Amino acid sequence: MYGFEYERPTTLKDVEDLLFADADSRILAGGMSLLPAMKLHLARPSMLIDLSGLAELKGISVGPASVTIGAMTRHADVAQSLAVRNAIPALAELASGIGDRQVRNRGTIGGSVANSDPAACYPAALLGLGASIRTNRRIIAADMFFLGLFETALEMGEFIVAIEFPCPMDGAYEKFHHPASRFALVGVFVTRPTLGGVRVAVTGAGPFAFRAAALERALDSNFTAVAAEAVKIEPSGLNSDLHGDAEYRAALIPVLAARAVRRILTANPSFAKGSNYV
């Protein structure tokens, strides 16, 4: 490790001022990604701005058609929230499978989303549910937020305040995880929103989370596991590493999408009757 300044602001304005005062400063949320990167000298911020003292960034509120989660809300809080389980069960389930118990009790949703790790679970939920990211300046649609490897639409001096998730008719998340880190080699989030067509979001397969348009088109026409399994995903541009090459990940995407569809239809048998459910 090396020397750096540490600040624990008490207002959102203080956070903005600190970010503008030092271009090399970094926000500290749960620290589950930033601190290991600092230990390995992959990140060398001159200042850490700890958001843990800002109560307005924590908590979960559920409205008639959406769930809003503060940026500093821990994964464990989302997983254990009865309100989230009732409103968006797939989101609570996703949170319960992130990392291990220590990560879930320290890591935050805002930190995970802002980091845009290519194998993180939350980005798939944001894209799959059509979420909106509320920052200290504006509201950004999830479809416009993830730009590249560890790259988002956040600008200088901008940070996440809360994330709003529309409540879908139903949804499911399936993850093929690394057995040690619990990160997704591939994760697929499938939803049927109350408005619009089917959304299918993928994490772990590419340099950042993305929507699978071919699967969305197929499931809009025929919401069945068979339709999902029949889709061929182009491996070009997908990740290749010692855990799986691009072709392997491409093959996993429709398989996991099909599993998610089966779970949705099993939970909604009346819908399944009209969908040639297999």
What pLDDT does residue 277 have?
37
CB atoms closer than 10 angstroms to residue 82 = 10
What pLDDT does residue 37 have?
92
What pLDDT does residue 114 have?
97
What pLDDT does residue 271 have?
56
Take residue 127 and report the two structure tokens written for it: 């894209």
Strand partners of residue 25: 47
Query: Mean pLDDT by 10-residue block, N- to C-terminus, for the chain (278 residues)?
Result: 90 95 94 93 94 96 97 98 98 95 96 96 98 98 97 96 98 92 92 96 97 98 98 97 95 98 87 46
The structure's pTM equals 0.94
What pLDDT does residue 269 have?
63
What pLDDT does residue 178 have?
85
Question: In sequence order, what are the residues at sequence separation of 6 or more whose Cβ sits closer than 8 angstroms to the Cβ of residue 242?
Answer: none
User: What domains can you pick out in the chain, each with its CATH number?
Assistant: 1-50 (3.30.43.10), 170-272 (3.30.390.50)
Selection from 5, 131, 25 nearest residue 69 by Cα: 131
Residue 263 exposure: Cα atoms within 13 Å on the Cβ side: 18
What pLDDT does residue 274 have?
46
Selection from 94, 71, 89, 92 nearest residue 204 by Cα: 94
Instruction: Supply the DSSP symbol for 206.
Output: S
Terminal Cα-to-Cα distance of the chain (whole angstroms): 54
What pLDDT does residue 182 have?
78
Selection from 145, 164, 165 nearest residue 155 by Cα: 145
Strand partners of residue 191: 171, 199
What pLDDT does residue 270 have?
57
Take residue 120 and report the two structure tokens written for it: 């993180």
